[in-house]
Amino acid sequence: MPNWVGQQLGNYCLLRLLGKGGFGQVYLGEHIYLKTHVAVKLLREDINGTQTEAFRLAFLDEARKIAALKHPHILRVFEFSMDKFTPYLVMDYAAHGTLLERHPPGSKLSVARVISYIQPIAQALSYAHTTQLVHRDVKPANVLLDELDTILLSDFGVATIAHNTASMQTIANMGTASYMAPEQLQGHPVTASDQYALAVMVFEWLCGELPYQGDPISVGIQHLTTPVPSLRQLNRELSPAVEAVVQKAMAKDAKLRFASVLDFVYALEQANQAEPQTRNSASNSVFPPAVFPPAHTKSFVEPAPLTLAFDNPFSFALSNTADSIPALSLIDDSRGLTYALLANQEPLLNNSIANNSSVNKTRHVYANGMTLLTYGSASGKVYSVVWSPDGTRVASAGNDTAIRIWDVASGETLHTLSHGSAVYTVAWSPDGTRVASGGNDAIVRIWDVTTGQVLYNLQSHLVSVNAVVWSPDGRFIASASDDQSVLVWEAVSGKLVDHYEGHDKWVNAVTWSPDGKLLASAAGDQTVQVWEATSGKLVCRYKGHNSDVHAVAWSPDGKLLASASGDQTVRIWEATSGKLVRRYEGHSASVNAVTWSPDGKLLASASYDQTVQVWSATAGRALLTYQAHQTPVFAVAWSSEGSQIASASYDVHIWQVS
């Protein structure tokens, strides 16, 4: 292609060449009036006079599809146009280059670093897949970094235009054969083809080399016919679990891969968190391996006090503190169930007893932390679980697109509401007559609980809705989204009344203060921001976490906030000043959710480490660890009367706290 430096395309002057590849050249461009910088990609395409009009129409058709893509991790495309016979795209300028430049061929990365890269890529791909768009050219050179090192997936436009432009198809195939799925090489790309390409990137980063070597034609044949090489032979430090996940995502048959690109990333996260000796080993087993019930089945365990005599040597500890909370000590009985020993209410002069067979006292042991009911979801992860205000029902929702409302006493399903996409959040209205849901389709839906009908849809978010919450008086709904905003709506009319855009990354959670005057939102920018619900004025910004903040919860008295993060901590801090009060570090993996007990004395937090931990808000120490889930716990909710907790993983457990 000719050198375009110094020339003008539309309103942009091309300053210097940034890079080139099979599709064309990329230049740094400057707007001739605004002096802002962009990236201008000129496509390598030779169009003669008879082809020009047909190509222009096809080009514009693809341009409309690409222009509709709005996601925090997709590089924005501002303009598609043609200069005589040369098509070009005008895009955001990513100042920090590509992941290929940051990690040249031969680089070997940790599993954790790889996951940090592919999480946002997978989110972008998942969003595109909901629009029936397949990228077709996922590779490190097409993953860009802006000045904040935000991951941005690029070249959606190039891939789709190439797919529909005969003269570019050979170039596309030859240029990216190293990452192409078998079915794409055969001319039949599907959404799982992008998963395959992402898995090849993971393979390359984990061992420092691509799975197949040689010229493009040879590599293509290997993708079609040769089994995936062993990652562990190339990197002995990798676990069998990590290797198995990558192998599945690179299955030759697209139907044998993970159900979605997000499921692939989630499986890799889990494989990385797994240890050689899991909780199922004899040395640290608390619960035997769980057998999850099929859809819509329930299992019950009757909680019954039992008496345990301390005749055999074993270790336990009792403590008497200033807290009004009885001290607990977890003990395994012969059936593998966990019980909590409650200290006597009288002061203890000697607060510890260890391996003392001369002590033959008898105490009552209560079934704290015992599972009372297990409710199986239809399929996939359950992202949200909430109690009705009167405590008689629970609503749960997740990856299977359904919201299920069920009776706590019987476990019977009362309603199954179809949201239409993966549901990330569900919330009850204060009067218990309605629920709000939000999910991957960017729509907030309001449902009548009695009839199961949708009352109205709220559709001002651009991408997925991660949280919805009702104001304490039921008049308003706040919703948080990957589009970096929080919107406030009238609950009766659905009218948009306010928006907050103080975060510069996706917003994971939002919550109202008990008096309804303030909102707190938590985001991927590692902050929690407290702001006035009516004016949007910032009151406080908490910056204590060093990873995504996944959840935030207001104490019942409105004075404190608890925030949970990917940095494996929960932090309690003053809601209006941001002063740190306490830090809880009991989890061994990312913390997904946190909730206060109704009396404000305890907190429960849920984590990727497969546990829910109940701990003292004043002392910051764990009182009980619930370990019945065998997969990550995504959500946790306290019943209104405070004696039970609902926790969600791939199913929902209701269990006794006290």
List the catalytic residues.
137
Concatenating the DSSP letter of every residue in 567-588 gives: TS-EEEEETTT--EEEEE---S
Distance CA 605, CA 592 (A): 8
The DSSP symbol for 239 reads: -
Q: Is 391 exposed, middle or buried (0-12, 13-18, 19+ CB in 10 A)?
A: middle
Distance CA 310, CA 331 (A): 11
Strand pairing class (591-596; 602-607): antiparallel
Distance CA 122, CA 99 (A): 15
What residues contact residue 365 under an 8 Å CB cut-off, 6+ apart?
305, 306, 307, 308, 331, 339, 340, 341, 342
Bridge partners, 415 (sequence order): 405
**Of the candidates 631, 639, 586, which has an alpha carbon nearest to the alpha carbon of residue 287?**
631
DSSP reduced 3-state for 455: strand
Whether the CB-CB separation of 368 and 658 falls below 8 Å is answered with: yes
**Of the candidates 454, 505, 516, which has an alpha carbon nearest to the alpha carbon of residue 483?**
505
Longest dimension (CA), the chain: 100
Strand pairing class (560-565; 549-554): antiparallel
Q: Residue 271 is inside which H or E element, if any? A: helix 261-273
| Helix, strand, coil share (%) of the chain residues, nearest 5 | 20, 35, 45
Whose structure tokens read 């909710």?
637
Cα→Cα distances 429→340, 421, 516, Å: 34, 22, 14
Whether the CB-CB separation of 521 and 509 falls below 8 Å is answered with: yes
Bridge partners, 145 (sequence order): 151
What residues contact residue 45 under an 8 Å CB cut-off, 6+ apart?
24, 55, 85, 86, 87, 165, 167, 168
What residues contact residue 225 under an 8 Å CB cut-off, 6+ apart?
none
**Of the candidates 64, 266, 66, which has an alpha carbon nearest to the alpha carbon of residue 155?**
66
Whether the CB-CB separation of 396 and 385 falls below 8 Å is answered with: yes
Using the CB atoms, write b or e for 402-416: b if 16+ within 10 Å. bbbbbebeebeebbe
Residue 324 structure tokens = 């009004």
Distance CA 420, CA 490 (A): 23
Q: In what order do the strands lie in the sheet with 393-398?
A: 382-387, 393-398, 402-407, 413-418
Distance CA 130, CA 443 (A): 13
